[in-house]
Amino acid sequence: MASLNNFEEATFLAQSRDESFHVAEVSTGKLKKRRHFRWWRFAVLAVAAAYFLIPLFAGIRFSLQDTAGKFSFETIAALPSAPGFSAAFWLSMRVTFVTVLISAALMVPTAIYVHVRVPRMRRVMDFVTVLPIVIPPIILIIGVLFVAPVWLKASPYLLSLMYVILAMPFAYRSLDAGLGAIDLKTLTEASRSLGGNWVKTIWSVVMPNLRSGLMSALVLTLALALGEFTMASLDLWQTIPVWIVSTNGLPNGHIEIAAAMIGLVGACVLVTLIVSLDRSQSGRGKAGTK
């Protein structure tokens, strides 16, 4: 066996990530300690579940009540006809759609190109894609409002452009993680030396590995675009989040909470679907990982 260098070991470790912890747990046989540990772990998970799930439950329950406080779908049914909602809804949809479009067109080829052709640039990309965390929406929007030309400010798609920037850390990192799971350079070189041209190589070697990264990047971008409030409100566009606030920010706003809960639950469901889809594919898709 050739000597394992750090990189191979780390890659292997990253792939067997799920397995390693599990197996290690099973094979460590300490009787008394494990009982204590199990209790502690249960306690932590229980408290966490309470903190995260109770508000969720409260929010959903609130959305399913009418003004009298009784259980009903009235609120959710009333949502589409609430004043300003459909306009806000379509605006959010358009802005989000354009965001996803631009983001995909920009980030996917870039991520692939960096991984395959110029891996040295990865550090630079890492740095650049972290910048939106350093320059948060509130600072960005005040800058944008100053430098953007009037015709751009008149369009809601200015928000789309900004959302692409905001989503960059998450989108790029998801793609990056998906591409980095295998030694892409070696595989593409192998594919090319066997006679595949670039298109075929990207299609059969790169894309399968990109699938899960692409999905999570998509979901995160979507969630961000649909839920973004700061820039939209200060740019004076009434997207769904802005609409929620504008119509009355008090607890009696069943409608608003309904909209909020739909967003959160929807995203969770989407993500769960993606994860379970990915699992059924991971057996096939990742050739050459061991």
Partner 1 sequence: MSNTDVVALDPDSRESGSNATTRKSNSWLRIVLRKSGPAIALAPFFIFTFLGLGIPTIGVIFKAFQGNNGGFTFSNLGQIVHGVYLTGFENSFKLAFLSSIIPGVLGVFLAYAIQTSKSKALRRLITAVSGVFANFGGVNLTFMFIATLGSTGLLTFWLNAIKLNPWHFGFNLYTFSGVVFVYMYFQIPLMVLVITPALVGLRESWREAAENMGASNLRYWYHVGVPVLLPSILGGMLLLFGSAFAAYATAESLTTGIIALSPIQIGNFINGNVISNQVNTGYAIAFGMLVILSVTMILYGLVRKRASRWLL
Partner 2 sequence: MTEGIEAKERPMTFTSSQPTTSSGASVVLDQLVRDFGKVRALDGLSLEINPGEFMALLGPSGCGKTTALRVLAGFEQLDSGRVIVDGKDLSRVNAQKRDMGMVFQSYSLFPNMNALNNVAFGLRMRRQSSSSRRAKAGELLEMVGLSDQATKYPHQMSGGQQQRIALARALAIEPRVLLLDEPLSALDAIVRAELRDQIRSLQQRLSITTVFVTHDQEEVLSMADRVCVMSKGHIEQVATPSELYGRPATAFVAQFVGISSRVPVVLFGQEVELFGLRCPIRSGDGSDLTGALDALLRPEDIAIEVDPEGKGFVTRKSFFGAMTRLVVQVGELSVRVDVRSDKAASIDLGTHVRPTIISRDVLVASRKEVAGIAEEIPK
DSSP letter string, 150-175: HHHHTSTHHHHHHHHHHHHHHHHHHH
Whole-number Å distance between alpha carbons of 3 and 258: 58
Q: Cα dist. 85→239, 240, 242 in Å?
A: 9, 7, 10
- Which two three-digit tokens encode residue 200? 């075929």
Task: Report in angstroms how near the CB of residue 10 gets to partner 2 at its nearest.
Answer: 10
Q: How far is the CB of 12 from partner 2 (least distance, A)?
A: 12
Q: Give, as one character, the DSSP assignment of residue 124.
A: H
Site for partner 1 in 203-262 (CB under 8 A): 216, 219-220, 223-224, 227-230, 233-234, 241, 244-245, 249, 251, 253, 256-257, 259-261
Instruction: Give the integer Cα–Cα distance in Å for 191 and 208.
Output: 14
Site for partner 1 in 11-70 (CB under 8 A): 13-14, 17-18, 20-22, 24-26, 28, 33, 37, 40-41, 44-45, 48, 51-52, 54-59, 61-62
Q: How far is the CB of 155 from partner 1 (least distance, A)?
A: 14
Smallest separation (angstroms) from partner 1 to the CB of 117: 6
Binding residues for partner 2, rule: CB under 8 A, are 1-4, 9, 26-31
Question: From the list 91, 98, 100, 132, which residue makes contact with partner 1 (rule: CB under 8 A)?
Answer: 132
84 binds partner 1 (CB under 8 A): no
Taking the C-alpha atoms of residue 75 and residue 257, their distance in angstroms, rounded to an integer, is: 10
Closest to 215 in 3D by CA, of 141, 128, 273:
273
Q: How far is the CB of 171 from partner 1 (least distance, A)?
A: 12
106 binds, among partner 1, partner 2, none (CB under 5 to 8 A by kind): partner 1
Among 4, 135, 154, 277, binds partner 1 (CB under 8 A): 135
Question: CB under 8 Å to 258, separation ≥6 — which residues?
Answer: 62, 63, 64, 75, 76, 79
Best CA proximity match to 225, nearest among 175, 178, 136, 165: 165
Tell me whether residue 146 or residue 290 sits nearer to partner 1 (CB atom). Answer: 146
Size of the site for partner 1 (CB under 8 A): 104
